[in-house]
Amino acid sequence: MKKSFFALPLGMLLTMGVSSAFATTGTINFEGMITDTTCPIEIINPETGIPGNLVRLGRVSKNLFTAVGAEAGHREFAMRVTPGAGCTSPAKATVTFTGVYGSTGAGNTLHALRAGSGYARGVGLAIIDNKGALVGYGAPSAEYALDDTSPTDMRFFAAYKSTATVEAGSAQVEVVFTVNIT
């Protein structure tokens, strides 16, 4: 009997030791940035002056894309930086755009459209600055001078640009932007 009482606590100790051997630790990384400038940014339709985050490129015929690199559906939009409300006398700004669906086209400079059944193919979204230069995927735009006292509209154009033979379908693109004010 002494042996069985002794064996029971030893078995429990071994079991507890084994279960604690399976405990693990890990690391969580957190990343962010503390800045001295926060400015509200609005997407503006330059024709109406109305803010909103939807830029309608409209219906574009696939026949307009006569070769790879052809553009169609140009539409202007602006990003308005309003001084005050946390802005501290900025001098200039650049904008970086990245597409939710990734990049496409030569050199991966365009924003990929949503893919799948019923969606257009062979085309990406080009974002062009106010001087007519392509703002490549993930690359900063040219600098825009910001006004210290009045709202500044940083103007851009969006257009579909063919990357292959274009197939008709819904053309939806989601683009994330970062405005770097210096």
Beta-bridge partner residues of 170? 119
Rounded to the nearest integer, the mean pLDDT of the chain is 81
User: According to CATH, what is the number of the domain 41-181?
Assistant: 2.60.40.1090
* Ranges of each domain in the chain: 41-181
Whether the predicted pLDDT of 11 surpasses 90? no
Tell me the one-letter amino acid at 17. G
Exposed/middle/buried for residue 127 (C-beta within 10 Å: 0-12, 13-18, 19+):
buried
The answer for residues whose C-beta is within 8 angstroms of residue 113's C-beta and 6 or more apart is 101, 104, 119, 120, 123, 124, 125, 171, 172, 173
How does pLDDT run across 76-133, given as a tens digit for each residue? 999 988 876 556 566 788 999 998 999 999 999 999 999 999 999 999 999 999 999 9
- Specify the 3-state DSSP secondary structure of 39: coil
Q: Please give the model's pTM, rounded to 2 decimal places.
A: 0.75
